[in-house]
A and B are shown apart, each in its own frame.
Chain A
Amino acid sequence: MPFVDEILKYKSVSIVGMEKNTGKTECLNYILRRLGHSNHRLAITSIGLDGEGLDQVTQTHKPEIFLTEGDVFVTSEAHFRSKKLDAEILDLSKQRTSLGRLVTARVTGSGKVMISGPSETFWIKKLIDDMAQFGVETTLVDGALSRQSLGSPAITESMVLATGAALSANMHTLVSKTAFLHELICLPQWKSTQNDKLLQISSGLWSLDADGEIHDLGIESAFLLESNKEKLFTYGHTFYVSGAVTAGLLNFLRMQPGIEETVIIARDFSRIFADKESYQAFTKRGGQIKVLLHTKLIAVCVNPVSPQGYILDSKQLREKLTEKLGIPVYDIFKL
């Protein structure tokens, strides 16, 4: 059984779509179907934009997920009330999302339900940890890659990536974009005793000196770099960027002396919003990017059909991606 055995090894797995309609839900339903009859105890929840009940683009309903008896799920009150399955309520959160409190429940009669979850990384992490008390072995997280989303799929131990023709109908572009994201996901982890401290920083540009001490550079945004040049290198060339790592930042640092020894630490791959060209120019000059949260990519699923009706050659697409990425690639409709 492709990659599903791999999933059982992790406490948490996020399923992340690179674009809408890349088949994330099919991928999730596939995993659930395959694990549904095993004795492995699963939980499922979601991170993403709050209020994603309706697809923002197509105004269609967010797809429902089919769960079988024994599965645990976490969803908002609003979605719990519209469930089409029987479930025993196990817990109710104190905190609220825009769709109400979160209900944790165990399926007692199979059926469908819409899943929504917290939007904050901290909360999702706590949720995953709390699942153990209900006997859950693996928590699946319906993930989202979004600039607006505060929660990041990198909080899970491992990840399955869904890509497809919805991202680009041109096979070359699709492979290239997916390969670039793969490269970011594989960025090495920054290892230090200060990681927890760094994770708590919510804004600004910080510098780490030779002893690993953290210093606030007092530069709130990458737009202010030019006017703060003299401050920038006070403590050396290792920087922690708490927010987005932008093309502007990479391009600016690339031009500065000391680029060979420059290290940028990002929170996780989803915080890197630079385009491929700026990223490559930066690394070519010797700059490095590392992440605080590293997640293991288990597999890539492709959906060769685009919403407009283009169909790419599934076999060719899988072969090209496997060659580029060096990990298993599956067609969700052929699984």
Chain B
Amino acid sequence: MTLGNAIHQQNGLRYITGLLQLHSSAGRQRMLSQVFMTESDALSQEFNLLSGMVERLKNPEYQGAINNIVQGLMQLHDIQGTLNNLGGRNVLDDIELFEVKRFALIAEEISKQLKILNYNGINFPALKDVVELLDPEDNRTAHFFIYSAYSEKLAELRKKHKTIDDSQSEEAHTLHEKCIEIEDTIRQELSAKLWAFHADIALAWQGVAELDFMMARARLAIDHNMVQPKISEEVTTFTGLFHPQVKAVLEQENRTFQPWNISLYNAPCLITGANMAGKTVLLKTIALNQYLFQFGFYVAAASAEMVTVEKIMTGIGDEQSELSGLSSFAAEMLNIQSIISSARAGNKLLVLIDEPARTTNPHEGIAIANALIDLLEELNVRSLITTHYSGLQTDCRKLRVKGLSFPQNSEPITVANINQYMDYSLIEHTNDEVPREALQIAQILGIDPELTRRAQHYADQNEKTL
């Protein structure tokens, strides 16, 4: 899976990649082709390179060199068409030769700045010979034409051509044609010499793409207080975990995001809590950060130790059941089926499911949720499952969002201020009862009082019959 594919399925990733300050189309393409890494070794190498870049970006001593690199990256044009022509051993025209020359000059400059940074994470071949070939008059500007310096004969003919007053005369035409002939020969010779440098130029092109993507990730990590995840083999543990997008939205409204601390073992963990307690956001945050980790980004937490997985599988209610013509229950069941079969096939998974079997009757719903948890337990699947169902007969690990606290003599709780009274932290939970705060939350949301009053009445009746 590439990041380009994952962006389409994951809103959070789309948001994060939108924050990346990429300066070139090469960098953008490199970003989209980034692969989901499952090998610890590959990841640890990636994070070494990235942390090296983060250090340099933070160092005020290097600001000048970094600005110069950014300037260079911004000037880059997409030369892949020209590279293909070069690789295919075609003769390049003036526009293509110009592109190669300009690219070589920019690449040389970037390479010089990288030496100042003392950053060796990127393979960057020298293109000095390419520059020299295309700059026979030693101007070191990114301009190009078939210079007279390439051929004495051409210089002589051009000189002669200029002395002719009547540009339409026979003599002028003949001279011009001779010039064109020599120019064509020079283009062929230049192209033939450049073929030998094709591999180097292509490598430098990959190098600038790599550099742009690396710098963008480093900048993102610094700007958004993200952290380098440690690679762990057993337990995934976050402290101060947050969702960058939700955090940004809250901060815009002068509200604060309460981060979580959580550990995930290779077994299911059940999460309960009131409505509006952020359970769904928690699942999305964990999914997003697992993706970030395995795509080689720093993660949104104060600290993180993470286990790699082969696949992240979610059921967070954003599947497009309408489009497939299935009922929401059918779509959910099929999704659960694919999770189970993947787990049975021995894949190392991270599974995140929001309220399984909520779209059917509670009697069978509880049964299905229970069975699912049993299976995930048996198959040792690292998973997080939220629910509102009471009475799940499972001894898996349970966490509860602390939920609303009702301080005495306080202002009435509303949608606007609920966030101040909601404690989002996760606590270990031992019994199988779930909080009953749905009616309270409905009142806060300003739902018709007649509806909530009657609902309370029915709830009391149910209680009595039990």
For B147, the closest partner residue in chain A by CB is A88
Q: Is A71 an interface residue (CB 8 A)?
A: no
Nearest-neighbour CB distance to chain A for B310, whole angstroms, equals 39
Partner of A87, one of B145, B162, B167: B145
Q: Is B158 an interface residue (CB 8 A)?
A: yes
Known contacts A108-B145, A109-B161, A89 near B77 by CB under 8 Å:
no
Contact A89 B158 (CB under 8 A): no
Known contacts A94-B77, A110-B167, A111-B167, A89 near B95 by CB under 8 Å:
yes
In the bound complex, how far is the Cα of B158 from the Cα of A94, in angstroms? 32
Q: Is A311 an interface residue (CB 8 A)?
A: no
Q: Is A103 an interface residue (CB 8 A)?
A: yes
Contact A103 B158 (CB under 8 A): no
Contact A109 B162 (CB under 8 A): yes
Number of contacts between A and B (CB, 8 Å)? 33
Contact A89 B93 (CB under 8 A): no
Q: Is A81 an interface residue (CB 8 A)?
A: yes
In the bound complex, how far is the Cα of B177 from the Cα of A86, in angstroms? 12
Contact B95 A80 (CB under 8 A): yes
In the bound complex, how far is the Cα of B77 from the Cα of A94, in angstroms? 6
Nearest-neighbour CB distance to chain A for B185, whole angstroms, equals 16
For B25, the closest partner residue in chain A by CB is A94
Contact B145 A92 (CB under 8 A): no
In the bound complex, how far is the Cα of B161 from the Cα of A214, in angstroms? 61
Q: Is A90 an interface residue (CB 8 A)?
A: yes
- Which residues of chain A come closer than 8 Å to B145, judged between CB atoms? 86-89, 108
Q: Is B98 an interface residue (CB 8 A)?
A: yes
- Contacts of B135-172 to chain A: CB distance below 8 A: 143-145, 158, 161-162, 167
Partner of B144, one of A80, A88, A110: A88
Contact A77 B161 (CB under 8 A): no
For A80, the closest partner residue in chain B by CB is B95
Interface size class of B (residues with CB under 8 A): 10 to 19
Known contacts A108-B145, A109-B158, A89 near B167 by CB under 8 Å:
no
- Which residues of chain B come closer than 8 Å to A77, judged between CB atoms? 95
In the bound complex, how far is the Cα of B97 from the Cα of A88, in angstroms? 11
- Contacts of A77-106 to chain B: CB distance below 8 A: 77, 80-81, 86-90, 92, 94, 103, 106
In the bound complex, how far is the Cα of B145 from the Cα of A106, in angstroms? 10
- Which residues of chain A come closer than 8 Å to B161, judged between CB atoms? 109
- Which residues of chain B come closer than 8 Å to A80, judged between CB atoms? 95
In the bound complex, how far is the Cα of B95 from the Cα of A37, in angstroms? 28
Contact A81 B98 (CB under 8 A): no
In the bound complex, how far is the Cα of B96 from the Cα of A81, in angstroms? 11
- Contacts of B429-455 to chain A: CB distance below 8 A: none
For B24, the closest partner residue in chain A by CB is A94
Nearest-neighbour CB distance to chain B for A210, whole angstroms, equals 33
Q: Is B355 an interface residue (CB 8 A)?
A: no
Nearest-neighbour CB distance to chain A for B154, whole angstroms, equals 11
Nearest-neighbour CB distance to chain B for A277, whole angstroms, equals 50
Q: Is B108 an interface residue (CB 8 A)?
A: no
In the bound complex, how far is the Cα of B161 from the Cα of A87, in angstroms? 15
Q: Is B99 an interface residue (CB 8 A)?
A: yes
Q: Is B94 an interface residue (CB 8 A)?
A: yes
Contact A92 B162 (CB under 8 A): no
Chain B interface, DSSP helix/strand/loop, else mixed: helix
Nearest-neighbour CB distance to chain B for A30, whole angstroms, equals 17
Nearest-neighbour CB distance to chain A for B278, whole angstroms, equals 37
In the bound complex, how far is the Cα of B145 from the Cα of A49, in angstroms? 29
- Which residues of chain A come closer than 8 Å to B94, judged between CB atoms? 89
In the bound complex, how far is the Cα of B93 from the Cα of A103, in angstroms? 13
- Which residues of chain B come closer than 8 Å to A111, judged between CB atoms? 167
Nearest-neighbour CB distance to chain A for B169, whole angstroms, equals 13
For B94, the closest partner residue in chain A by CB is A89
Contact A89 B162 (CB under 8 A): no
Chain B 235-247 interface mask (CB, 8 Å, partner A; 1/0)? 0000000000000
- Which residues of chain A come closer than 8 Å to B158, judged between CB atoms? 86, 109
Partner of B95, one of A86, A92, A109: A92
Contact A90 B143 (CB under 8 A): yes
In the bound complex, how far is the Cα of B158 from the Cα of A90, in angstroms? 20
- Which residues of chain B come closer than 8 Å to A103, judged between CB atoms? 95
For A112, the closest partner residue in chain B by CB is B167
- Contacts of A96-134 to chain B: CB distance below 8 A: 103, 106, 108-111
- Which residues of chain A come closer than 8 Å to B78, judged between CB atoms? 94
Partner of A92, one of B93, B99, B167, B179: B99
- Which residues of chain B come closer than 8 Å to A90, judged between CB atoms? 143
For A84, the closest partner residue in chain B by CB is B176
- Which residues of chain B come closer than 8 Å to A92, judged between CB atoms? 77, 95, 98-99, 102
In the bound complex, how far is the Cα of B78 from the Cα of A110, in angstroms? 31
- Which residues of chain A come closer than 8 Å to B167, judged between CB atoms? 110-111
Nearest-neighbour CB distance to chain A for B173, whole angstroms, equals 11
In the bound complex, how far is the Cα of B98 from the Cα of A81, in angstroms? 13
- Which residues of chain A come closer than 8 Å to B95, judged between CB atoms? 77, 80-81, 89, 92, 103
- Which residues of chain A come closer than 8 Å to B93, judged between CB atoms? 81
For B162, the closest partner residue in chain A by CB is A109
Nearest-neighbour CB distance to chain B for A165, whole angstroms, equals 29
Instruction: Find the residue from A77, A81, A86, A90 having the highest chain B CB count within 10 A.
Output: A86
Instruction: Find the residue from A81, A103, A109 having the highest chain B CB count within 10 A.
Output: A109
- Contacts of A58-92 to chain B: CB distance below 8 A: 77, 80-81, 86-90, 92
In the bound complex, how far is the Cα of B167 from the Cα of A87, in angstroms? 16
- Which residues of chain B come closer than 8 Å to A110, judged between CB atoms? 167
In the bound complex, how far is the Cα of B94 from the Cα of A80, in angstroms? 10
Partner of A88, one of B77, B99, B143, B162: B143
In the bound complex, how far is the Cα of B167 from the Cα of A109, in angstroms? 10
- Which residues of chain A come closer than 8 Å to B143, judged between CB atoms? 88-90, 106
In the bound complex, how far is the Cα of B94 from the Cα of A106, in angstroms? 13
In the bound complex, how far is the Cα of B163 from the Cα of A109, in angstroms? 11
For A89, the closest partner residue in chain B by CB is B98
Nearest-neighbour CB distance to chain A for B80, whole angstroms, equals 13
- Which residues of chain B come closer than 8 Å to A87, judged between CB atoms? 145
Nearest-neighbour CB distance to chain A for B381, whole angstroms, equals 48
Besides A77-B95, A80-B95, A94-B78, 13 other A-B contacts (C-beta < 8 A): A81-B93, A81-B95, A86-B158, A88-B144, A88-B145, A89-B94, A89-B144, A89-B145, A92-B99, A94-B77, A103-B95, A109-B161, A110-B167
The 9 lowest CB-CB distance pairs between A and B, nearest first, are A88-B145, A89-B98, A89-B144, A90-B143, A88-B143, A94-B77, A89-B94, A110-B167, A77-B95
Residues in B lying within 8 Å of A, measured CB to CB: 77-78, 93-95, 98-99, 102, 143-145, 158, 161-162, 167, 179
Residues in A lying within 8 Å of B, measured CB to CB: 77, 80-81, 86-90, 92, 94, 103, 106, 108-111
A-B contact pairs, 5 of them (CB 8 A): A81-B95, A89-B145, A92-B95, A106-B143, A109-B158
